[in-house]
Amino acid sequence: MWRSLGPLRLPEWEQSILARWQAERTFQRSVARRRGGPTYAFYEGPPSANGKPGIHHVFARTLKDLICRYQTMRGFYVPRRAGWDTHGLPVELSVEKELGISKADIGTKVSIADYNKACREAVMRYKATWDALTERMGYWVELEDPYITFDAKYIESVWWLLKRFYEKGLLYRDYTIQPYSPAAGTALSQHELNLPGAYKTVRDPSLTVQFRHQTEPDLYFLAWTTTPWTLPSNAALAVGPDFTYVEIETFQPYTREPTRVILAKESVPRYFSAEGAELPLSPEFVDVRTGRLPYRINRYLKGQDLIGQRYEPLFRYVEPDGDAWRIIAGDFVSLEEGTGIVHIAPTFGADDLRAARKNAISPILTSDAHGNPTPLVDKEGRFVPQVTDFAGRYVKNYTDAPDYRPVDEDIALYLRQRGLLFRKEIYEHNYPHCWRTDKPILYYPVEAWFIRTSALREKLVALNQTIRWYPPTIGEGRFGNWLENVEDWNLSRSRFWGIPLPIWRSRDGRYERCIGSFEELREAVEESRKQGLMQHNPVMHPDFDPHRPTVDEIILVAPDGTPLYREPDVIDVWFDSGAMPYAQLHYPFENEEIFSQQFPADFIAEGVDQTRGWFYTLHVIAAALFGTVAYKRVLVNGLVLDKEGNKMSKRLGNVVDPFTLMERYGADPTRWYLISNAPPWENVRFDEKRLAEKVRSFFGTLHNTYEFFALYARIDGYQIQPLPPVDQLPLIDRWLLSEVEKLTAEVSEAYENYYPTQAARLIEDFVIERLSNWYVRLNRRRFWKGEKDQDKWAAFTVLRYALLRTAQLMAPIAPFYAELLWEHLGERGSIHESDFPSSTLLWRDLSLEESMEKARRLTSLLHSLRKQSGVRVRQPLPQALVPASYKNWLDPLTDLLKAEVNLKAITYLDDHSQAVYYELRPNYRTLGPSLGPRIKDLASYLHTLPQEAILETLQKGKLQWEGHSFSLPDLEIRAQALPGWLHASEGGLTVALDTRLTPELEKEGWARELIHHIQVLRKNAGLEVTDRIHLRIHLPPSYQKALQSFASLIAEETLADSIEWVDNPIAGLSPIEFLDSVSLYIDISRAYEHA
RNA sequence: GGGCCUGUAGCUCAGAUGGUUAGAGCGCGACACUGAUAAUGUCGAGGUCCGUGGUUCGAUUCCACGCAGGCCCA
């Protein structure tokens, strides 16, 4: 019992606690113990084990862990299941790098089956490292049966969800504009565009062209484009609704015919020189070479007013499907370049498509040989036959043809001949190129499947308002704004390693089927077998793998016998993780009851970067299909930056390895540091020096306190006993218990508010300031004094109680050391199976808390005064003087204060004593609103008030001033000074110190000085604190005589059985300097006990 | 370009429903204590509370506009 653990060695202790937890299955037991209680549902966002975990993972996981541990201690059943996110681009890219292949090689050089096999292996590469981190940091989550997104069962649940979207009409096929390489014949990912060297500076012709107003003769809209080949696909023109436009009277530069054009006011100088405004409006002043045009501004127009006006198309190869060729609003329209009017080709630009959709304008499409809709440029990058003037011509030189003639030039020529070209320039800009063929990419329409999230917008927003966000601003701002502007979710990825879209379609698009379960697929394959389209049924196989290529080989059949082929895409991995509440339980195929208990989650926690990620996908799926939220509370954490505030990255070499950290300092300090340093949602600047400091200041102090307790408890054979009734305890114990209750209440509140930073800081402050630096420091004597009486046992009991309570309060954040304390303080079982303490108001004594706080401040003032006086602390001083108004709260603490500062008395000064000066100031807070500017006059009036008037005011409790009557709460009273004494004031407290020594006090000071020297010798001699001694002492006779009257005090303090005063310096001993001037000889010898 | 967050001592962070002396810890300097001692206490130096305007008797706090850093999205 009360074993000493020696100096702090957290990493080592943590290892043995880990071993114990594992052997006793403490985590599982702590969860199981609460089964039957209310469920607190927690979802673990699945990490990808494709890379090594970093310190930021420790941060996020500490937050998750501590909330779950806290709720478990509160009595909730908190099942926690680990999961793995396994699909997606990062895995694919790493595999491609390893195999030395590119995407185009998949299916040719490497089979899809082999490729996916490699992905499946690569994605779990660091699973062991992740599991090791989870365990080492004390993150309690069930690792033995994790959910894995590539599991067939997981995928089946995802299919079921997709089919529900499909049935609700929320899953639809459309196209999206993607970077596309005609030369390579493939779409490129955003990632491929970001490869170094992808962006090249190129020179393209840029045209400013005239779109003829439909009803007003000779009025044109001027639009600017750097991709002339998209002009045949023009469907609309976009303006900025808030911009100002001008109508200008001028001449067509090439035909010199009078004309009127509209463009943005800011663009005028780009097209018209100032000189032009002065020139007569006559065609002979047109200079085609320099571009000089005479012009007049006719009128100003608001962009808003242009919207809806119609124009004649430049080309009319295809009749548009619907209401094209009009002016629309575009938020992307800029005044930096061009005319402030933007040509919109929805088939070849992402902004264009978005704007067109918003305005219900159909893209310009025609039909290919099979009758399927196609844009005016085919996948090889050639104009389709319907574009008669340019049919078959490549829009860029994709084939390296030596005689390639840029089609852009011919389009310019064509327009010029028709008087529709206003200007042609060469434009130099950065443009992305295909990294393999080095050819410019095309933004091209690619078929894709979408979730119609835009139709859910209101529901998403409304449900979000019921989610508790920590901090709230992210829910309202970042997430809320995103939802309000949400657009349809493009689910398609033309990749290989992912959950395949369970949709089969006929070539002509007349038939389509979405599959929602393996059972359904199996039956569908059976039908298709009957029709002879399939030879065997792969879904019959017990290990059916729903990945590519297996599903690609399945051909289904339409009622009329038409074969149906799978849509080739896989889905966005974010859908995988958003499906986790259902798919982790293989819902609805299994576990319906468990699902209903654990959905929605009470709590999730991830980084801010998940706003558009997991937070979003969870929300969309739950809102769309279940009409509810997926999580009720979400705690958002910021990033972990290095100590300079830079993001940690391999490139900068500032990545901190969590394992090294935990081996060096321990998991608890790492967790504690991350939690206590700053609120979770702010970025944490990680500084190892501070972590080391945390070990020393908090864990070191707490551990010292335990060691102190254990040392004396061991010596005295303290036996655990219940707390005595509070009213029988000494004041200081009652104070500590009150503080413990206060701490409990405040820490509980912090946890309840998902603000663990506050909890950690409160605990730190309690341990360092109250428990260690005040309670233990003041009570040391009670622990080592001789008698084993009630008072001593009470001290042990109260201190042990406070330590245990501290352990429980800190257990969620620092589970290891809390466990250690629990065990060593003699409690059974694991602290994590204990019930979180609730605070007892009964033990609170608010006035005692406040008085003690003041007394602590007073002590600090007195220490500072002693320091100024130059009198050693060992020298007792006669008295401290304080104003009489302190009497009520200070009286009970007098003894403590006297002992702490080594005083003989505390004297209260009468209010009328000349020694106290009072000062009155207005209470700005209460008087400010009513007095307004006159408060300054009152302040100066109070300042000039004589002392007698102040005292009179204090006595009457009232003050009259210029017709106003003030009571005491309206005035701030300060005891300002005690002239003639050594005094100090701080925060309304004033104290003076009497440093006049009487001979008697001086002698006592000598005695204490002597005791001090003896203690040093005891220590140097290596004596145990309980060893008894014999003393022989020599001092000059005058001192010797004075000290003899303190012999019993000296003997008691130093555990001396005998003191012999010797007349002469003791031979063989060197003198000790006593009181800076006197030679002292002490001979110390251990007293052996005789039987 | 848009949304959100942050800006207080050399560093990491508190704080103030707007109130006249803005705090802590670390670091730095000085001293003390010595029955927790690889612990502890006291004192000191150190601040334009990012800037500018506004509201107010009073702004570091509220409002507006900026600046800087971060995250997400274009």
pLDDT the model gives residue A33: 94
Query: A92 and A169 in contact (C-beta within 8 Å)?
Result: no
Peptide bond into A600 cis (omega under 30): yes
Q: Which long-range contacts (CB under 8 A, 24 or more apart) does A18-23 make?
A: A18/A135, A18/A136, A18/A138, A21/A830
Report whether pLDDT(A665) > 80: yes
Angle between helices A1037-1044 and A1047-1054 (to 10 degrees): 80
Q: What is the DSSP letter of A219?
A: E
Q: What is the DSSP letter of A317?
A: S
Task: Mark whether A785 is an active-site residue.
Answer: no
By C1' distance from the Cα of A927, the closest nucleotide is: B19
Residue A643 CA distance to nucleotide B46 C1' (Å): 22
Distance CA A733, CA A803 (A): 13
pLDDT the model gives residue A1091: 37
Distance CA A251, CA A291 (A): 11
Centre a 10 Å sphere on the Cβ of residue A332 and count the other Cβ atoms it contains: 13
By C1' distance from the Cα of A685, the closest nucleotide is: B12
pLDDT the model gives residue A650: 58
Task: Mark whether A574 is an active-site residue.
Answer: yes
Question: Helix, strand or coil for residue A450?
Answer: strand
Cβ contact A322 with chain B strand, < 7 A: no
Task: Mark whether A2 is an active-site residue.
Answer: no
pLDDT tens column, A108-163: 889 999 999 999 998 888 899 999 999 999 999 999 999 999 999 999 999 999 99
Task: Mark whether A52 is an active-site residue.
Answer: no
Distance CA A561, CA A558 (A): 5
Centre a 10 Å sphere on the Cβ of residue A608 and count the other Cβ atoms it contains: 17
Query: A735 and A770 in contact (C-beta within 8 Å)?
Result: no
Buried b / exposed e over A15-45, threshold 16 CB at 10 Å, is eebbeebeeeebbeebbebbeeeebbbbbbb
In percent, the amount of chain A with pLDDT more than 90 equals 32
By C1' distance from the Cα of A676, the closest nucleotide is: B13
Residue A471 CA distance to nucleotide B71 C1' (Å): 15
Cβ contact A1054 with chain B strand, < 7 A: yes
Residue numbers 332-371 of A with CB closer than 7 A to any atom of strand B? 332, 350-351
Report whether pLDDT(A873) > 80: no
Task: Mark whether A46 is an active-site residue.
Answer: yes
* Annotated catalytic residue within A574, A672, A774, A822: A574
The answer to whether the pTM exceeds 0.90 is no
DSSP string, A242-287: TSEEEEEEEE-TTT--EEEEEEEGGGHHHHS-HHHHHS-S-GGG-B
pLDDT the model gives residue A30: 95
pLDDT tens column, A218-255: 899 999 888 899 999 999 998 888 788 999 999 998 88
Q: The complex's ipTM?
A: 0.86
> Where does the pLDDT of residue A643 fall: very low under 50, low under 70, confident under 90, or very high at 90 and above?
low
Of A441-445, A478-482, A772-776, A797-801, the range with the lowest mean pLDDT is A478-482
Buried b / exposed e over A213-251, threshold 16 CB at 10 Å, is beeeeebbbbbbbbbbbbbbbbbbbbbbbebebbbbbbb
Residue numbers 4-33 of A with CB closer than 7 A to any atom of strand B? 7
Distance CA A548, CA A112 (A): 7
By C1' distance from the Cα of A1012, the closest nucleotide is: B34
Report whether pLDDT(A852) > 80: yes
Helices (H), A53-139: 55-73, 89-99, 112-122, 127-136
* Annotated catalytic residue within A85, A204, A569, A733: A85
pLDDT the model gives residue A1005: 84
pLDDT tens column, A1013-1064: 888 788 777 777 677 888 888 888 888 888 888 888 888 778 888 888 888 8
Please compute the mean of the pLDDT values over residues A679-695 and round it to a whole number: 80
Of A152-166, A353-367, A580-594, A1077-1091, the range with the lowest mean pLDDT is A1077-1091
> Where does the pLDDT of residue A77 fall: very low under 50, low under 70, confident under 90, or very high at 90 and above?
very high
Distance CA A756, CA A810 (A): 10
Please compute the mean of the pLDDT values over residues A449-472 and round it to a whole number: 88
Residue A875 CA distance to nucleotide B45 C1' (Å): 30
Residue numbers 457-476 of A with CB closer than 7 A to any atom of strand B? 471, 473-474
Residue A471 CA distance to nucleotide B2 C1' (Å): 21
Residue A405 or A918, more confident: A405
pLDDT the model gives residue A642: 66
pLDDT the model gives residue A575: 92
Task: Mark whether A647 is an active-site residue.
Answer: yes
Q: CB within 8 A of A169, min separation 6: which ones?
A: A452
Distance CA A1081, CA A1033 (A): 6
Report whether pLDDT(A192) > 70: no
Peptide bond into A375 cis (omega under 30): no
Residue A864 CA distance to nucleotide B43 C1' (Å): 7
Residue numbers 632-691 of A with CB closer than 7 A to any atom of strand B? 639, 643, 645, 647, 677-679, 681-685, 687, 689-690
> Where does the pLDDT of residue A916 fall: very low under 50, low under 70, confident under 90, or very high at 90 and above?
low
β-bridge partners, A42: A603
Residue A980 CA distance to nucleotide B4 C1' (Å): 59
Gyration radius from chain A CA atoms: 42
By C1' distance from the Cα of A926, the closest nucleotide is: B19
* Annotated catalytic residue within A647, A788, A867, A956: A647
By C1' distance from the Cα of A351, the closest nucleotide is: B74
Task: Mark whether A127 is an active-site residue.
Answer: no
Residue A701 CA distance to nucleotide B38 C1' (Å): 12
By C1' distance from the Cα of A1056, the closest nucleotide is: B35
Q: Say how many residues make up chain A.
A: 1091
Report whether pLDDT(A652) > 60: no
Residue numbers 694-723 of A with CB closer than 7 A to any atom of strand B? 696-697, 700-701, 704-705, 707-708, 711
Query: A992 and A983 in contact (C-beta within 8 Å)?
Result: yes
> Where does the pLDDT of residue A49 fall: very low under 50, low under 70, confident under 90, or very high at 90 and above?
confident
By C1' distance from the Cα of A761, the closest nucleotide is: B14
Distance CA A922, CA A926 (A): 9
Distance CA A1012, CA A898 (A): 19
Query: A139 and A662 in contact (C-beta within 8 Å)?
Result: no
Nucleotide B6's nearest residue (CA vs C1') is A682
Residue numbers 492-551 of A with CB closer than 7 A to any atom of strand B? none
Query: A211 and A220 in contact (C-beta within 8 Å)?
Result: yes
Integer angstrom CA distances of residue A765 from A653, A692, A807, A810, A843: 35, 18, 14, 12, 20
Cβ contact A926 with chain B strand, < 7 A: no
Question: Helix, strand or coil for residue A564?
Answer: strand
Buried b / exposed e over A813-838, threshold 16 CB at 10 Å, is bbbbbbbbbbbbbebeebbbbbebbe
- Strand B nucleotides below 7 A of a protein CB? 3-6, 11-14, 17, 19-21, 25-27, 31-44, 56-58, 69-74
Report whether pLDDT(A1090) > 50: no
Closest CA to A996 of A886, A900, A860, A875: A875
